[in-house]
């Protein structure tokens, strides 16, 4: 008998259900008896012993369903060791609930913050296996995360739709894509959608270069320009500020986001109409694309295999087109940034895409 605890933590995304389904089906199909404890709303469920018993039937028919049947929430790692409002030691509470239920392993699905806490629980002596979830694809130790490709598809569709109205009206359009710290999603959606300018956090932009690119297209007879802008895009000027100075600037920021500031500066410099579109949380929602369904299922199946073999303390990742197990201590606390000198950036520039640098 295997007693498995399972939770999904952090922002939701497509294919969480597919990944959990993969774990459970692989174990059940091995002939191993299993009890599944689904902790509700992320680490909160583990802290406050809020769970429900699940069977294989609960994982039937969820391959194509977005979101998570367990619910999710953000429990910041930086405060995980702080007592809650009632003085409860959250880490100790998670440990005690694990032992009370006599769990063999915790299966945790999440991104960067989730993996920090998962690794902490490993250090505290719990058996943990994780699966890499995030639409940002910024999790260290894996070439790909599930949810990413689905989000790329949605952001690309948004850019595709903007193309027709931009061409019709001869306007400049900015599509703001999710990604506070890294630009994988914006880069891939921007290239797939034929964006003319792509601005990402890893390459601080010069607004004069951005305006120059817009004017260059106009001089070449183009009636419109499309910019794919990451929500975490930053100017070269702001990138030089200290954390304190930047925080002070943002405290008095008059724009809803960086895209609106860029739009305002382009309008003032060119006199052309600029429109901003923000797909927002639609990028996290809906049914997972076929790639993510297959990918998440594979990761889940491999996690099930590790459980059957009593191998714990790993994230199931993807490297060089192979599913691999990565020690949690090699993952936690590390962010996978997009290299400004990477081949894909160079190739995008060869295609004529401007990064404002």
In a domain, 354, yes or no: no
* Of the candidates 213, 27, 24, 20, the residue with the CA atom closest to the CA atom of residue 133: 20
> Within a domain: residue 162?
yes
Where does residue 28 rank: exposed (0-12), middle (13-18), buried (19+ CB within 10 A)? middle
Decide: helix, strand or coil at residue 27. helix
- pLDDT tens sequence across 111-155: 999 999 999 999 999 999 999 999 999 999 999 999 999 999 999
**Do 19 and 104 belong together in one domain?**
yes
Whether residues 157 and 273 share a domain: the answer is yes
Q: Is 180 in the same domain as 250?
A: yes
Q: Judge whether 211 lies within some domain.
A: yes
With respect to residue 357, please indicate whether it lies within any of the assigned structural domains: no
Domain membership of residue 345 (yes or no) is no
Domain assignment present for 236: yes
Q: 295 and 248, same structural domain?
A: no
Give this prediction's pTM: 0.94
What is the pLDDT at residue 249?
Answer: 84
> Are residues 310 and 239 located together in one domain of the fold?
no
Looking at the structure, do residues 156 and 272 belong to the same domain, yes or no?
Answer: yes
Q: Is residue 197 part of a domain?
A: yes
Dihedral sign for Cα atoms in the order 183, 184, 189, 192: positive
- Assess whether 164 and 272 both reside in one domain: yes
Give the pLDDT confidence of 283-323 residue by residue, as tens digits. Answer: 999 999 999 999 999 999 999 999 999 999 999 999 999 99
* Rounded distance between C-alpha atoms, residue 6 and residue 105, angstroms: 9
Structural contact between residues 301 and 308, judged by C-beta atoms closer than 8 angstroms: no
- For residue 199, the model assigns a pLDDT of 98
**Dist CA 135 CA 152 (whole Å):** 8
Give the number of domains in the chain: 2
- Beta pairing partners, 230: 177
Q: Is 153 a catalytic residue?
A: no
What CATH number is given to the structural domain containing 303? Answer: 3.40.50.450
Closest-CA residue to 119 (of 355, 347, 327): 327
Instruction: Tell me 69's DSSP state.
Output: T
pLDDT at 355: 97
Q: Which domain holds residue 167?
A: 151-284
Cα three-residue angle 19-22-26, rounded to 5 degrees:
155
Q: Are residues 75 and 160 in the same domain?
A: no
| Candidates 12, 136, 138, 153; catalytic one | 136
Residue 33 belongs to a domain: yes
Structure token pair of residue 301: 């199946």
């Amino acid at each position: 008998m295997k007693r498995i605890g399972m939770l999904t933590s952090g922002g939701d995304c497509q294919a969480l259900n597919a990944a959990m389904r993969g774990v459970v089906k692989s174990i059940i199909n091995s002939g191993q008896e299993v009890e599944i404890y689904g902790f509700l709303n992320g680490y909160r469920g583990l802290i406050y012993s809020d769970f429900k018993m699940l069977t294989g039937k609960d994982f039937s028919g969820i391959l194509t369903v977005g979101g998570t049947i367990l619910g999710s929430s953000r429990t910041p790692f930086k405060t995980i060791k702080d007592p809650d409002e009632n003085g409860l030691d959250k880490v100790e509470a998670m440990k005690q609930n694990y032992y009370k239920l006599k769990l063999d392993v915790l299966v945790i699905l999440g991104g960067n913050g989730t993996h920090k806490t998962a690794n902490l629980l490993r250090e505290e002596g719990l058996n943990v296996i994780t699966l890499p979830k995030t639409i940002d694809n910024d999790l260290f130790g894996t070439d790909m995360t599930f949810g990413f490709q689905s989000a790329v598809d949605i952001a690309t569709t948004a850019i595709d739709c903007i193309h027709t109205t931009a061409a019709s009206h001869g306007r400049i359009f900015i599509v703001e894509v999710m990604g506070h710290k890294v630009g994988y999603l914006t880069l891939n959606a921007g290239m797939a959608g034929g964006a003319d300018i792509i601005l990402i956090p890893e390459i601080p932009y010069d607004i004069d270069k951005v305006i120059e690119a817009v004017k260059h297209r106009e001089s070449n007879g183009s009636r419109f320009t499309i910019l794919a802008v990451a929500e975490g895009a930053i100017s070269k000027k702001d990138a030089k500020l200290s954390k304190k100075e930047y925080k002070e600037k943002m405290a008095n920021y008059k724009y809803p986001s960086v895209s609106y500031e860029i739009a305002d500066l382009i309008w003032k410099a060119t006199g052309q109409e600029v429109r901003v579109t923000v797909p927002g949380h639609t990028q996290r929602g809906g049914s997972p694309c076929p790639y993510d369904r297959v990918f998440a299922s594979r990761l889940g199946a491999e996690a099930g295999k590790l459980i059957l073999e009593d191998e714990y303390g790993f994230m199931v990742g993807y490297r060089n087109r192979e599913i691999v197990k990565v020690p949690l201590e090699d993952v936690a606390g590390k962010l996978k940034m997009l290299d400004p000198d990477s081949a894909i950036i160079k190739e995008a520039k060869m295609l004529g895409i401007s990064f404002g640098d």
